[in-house]
Amino acid sequence: MSAPLTGVAVITGSSGGIGRAVALALASHGMSVCLTGRDSGKLQSLAREIGSRAPQTLVHGADLSSDDDIRGLVERVTAGFGRVDVLVHAAGALRLGNIEAAGWDDLDEQYRVNLRAPYILTKAFLPMLKESSGQVVFVNSTAGLVAGADNGTYAAMKHGLRSLAGSIRDQVNQYGVRVLSVYPGRTATPMQEVVHQFEGRRYELPNLLQPSDVADMIIAAVALPRTAEATDITVRPMKKPSPLKSGS
C-alpha cells in the first residue's frame, strides 16, 4: 500500500516539461508546492491551474545558474514554508554539438544548472529534509547512462549527477531521507523538440514518453512505504525514434 503524500514539495524547472508534470501530480496528491523556474509567467499559469488542489502554492522565479537566485529561493522557501518534504531537481540546460562544434562556455553553463545547482540546493535544504525524513528526486536522463557524440557536455553533467545522488544517498539514508534518480528516455518536452530539430528527426509527440508518465513513476516511488526505497529508475518510450529525414 502506498503512503500518503503530505507536506511541502519544491520543484525546480516547474515552468515546463517534466517539472511541470511533477508539480501538478504532487499538488493533486495534496502536497503544498513551491514552483520555481526561469519563466515566471508560466509558473503563475501553473499555479492557477493547480488552484485549490494544493493546500498552499508558492511561486518563485529563479535562474539556477545564479548564486543570488539560488539563495533567494532557499530564503523564500524557508520563510514561506519552514519545511521541505520532497525536493525535485527537474531544471536543466542543454547544449548540443561534438567537441569540435561546442562553444567554450557550453560546459560551464550546463555545469552550473545541471550539476552545481542540484548540489547546492540539496545542501541548503538538507537540514529541513532531515527534520522531515524527506525525499530528494534527481530527474536525470538516459544520457546520464550512455553518452553520444553530440551530447558530451550534457551527458557529462548527468553522469556526474548520478554519482552525486549515490553519494548523497549513502550519507542521508541514516536520517531516513530517501534519494531517487530517474532516467527518462526521449520525452515530449521543449528540450526534446530541440534535440529532434538538431538531429533532423520528425518530432512526433505520440511516439515519445510523456511528462506525465515520468511524473507517475516519481509519484509511485516517493509514495512507497518506508520499508522500501527506489534508487534508480529508467523509463523510456515504447516506440523507437522515428528515422532521420532523408538527406540528414
Q: How confident is the model at residue 152 (pLDDT cuts 50, 70, 90)?
A: confident
Which residue in the block uniquely carries the three cell numbers 491551474? 49
Helices (H), 173-230: 190-199, 211-222
Total domains in the chain come to: 1
Query: How far is 88 from 21, CA to CA, in rounded Å?
Result: 12
What does the pLDDT read at residue 248?
A: 39
51 is a domain residue: yes
Q: How confident is the model at residue 245 (pLDDT cuts 50, 70, 90)?
A: low
Write out pLDDT tens, residues 94-147.
Answer: 888 888 888 888 889 899 999 999 999 999 999 999 999 999 999 999 888 998
Set of cell numbers at residue 132? 522531515
Helices (H), the chain: 17-28, 40-50, 67-80, 106-111, 117-132, 152-172, 190-199, 211-222
219 is a domain residue: yes
Containing 89, the helix (H) or strand (E) segment is strand 86-89
Above 90 in pLDDT, residue 212? yes
Q: How confident is the model at residue 247 (pLDDT cuts 50, 70, 90)?
A: very low
Mean of the pLDDT values across residues 212-226? 97
106 is a domain residue: yes
Distance of CA 33 to the CA centre of its chain: 14
What does the pLDDT read at residue 94?
A: 84
Q: How confident is the model at residue 84 (pLDDT cuts 50, 70, 90)?
A: very high
Structural domain including 145 reads: 8-184+213-235
151 is a domain residue: yes
SS3 120: helix
What does the pLDDT read at residue 137?
A: 98
205 is a domain residue: no
Write out pLDDT tens, residues 180-198.
Answer: 999 998 887 888 877 888 8
Mean of the pLDDT values across residues 82-94? 95
Above 60 in pLDDT, residue 18? yes
Above 70 in pLDDT, residue 244? no
What does the pLDDT read at residue 1?
A: 62
Q: What is the CATH number of the domain that holds 109?
A: 3.40.50.720
Q: How confident is the model at residue 41 (pLDDT cuts 50, 70, 90)?
A: very high
Average pLDDT score over the chain: 92
Give backbone dihedrals phi and psi of 104, rounded to 5 degrees, phi first: -65, -30
182: which residues sit within 8 A by CB, 6+ positions away?
A: 137, 138, 139, 140, 214, 217, 218, 221, 233, 234, 235
Q: How confident is the model at residue 80 (pLDDT cuts 50, 70, 90)?
A: very high
Write out pLDDT tens, residues 1-16.
Answer: 677 899 999 999 999 9
Query: How far is 155 from 100, CA to CA, in rounded Å?
Result: 16
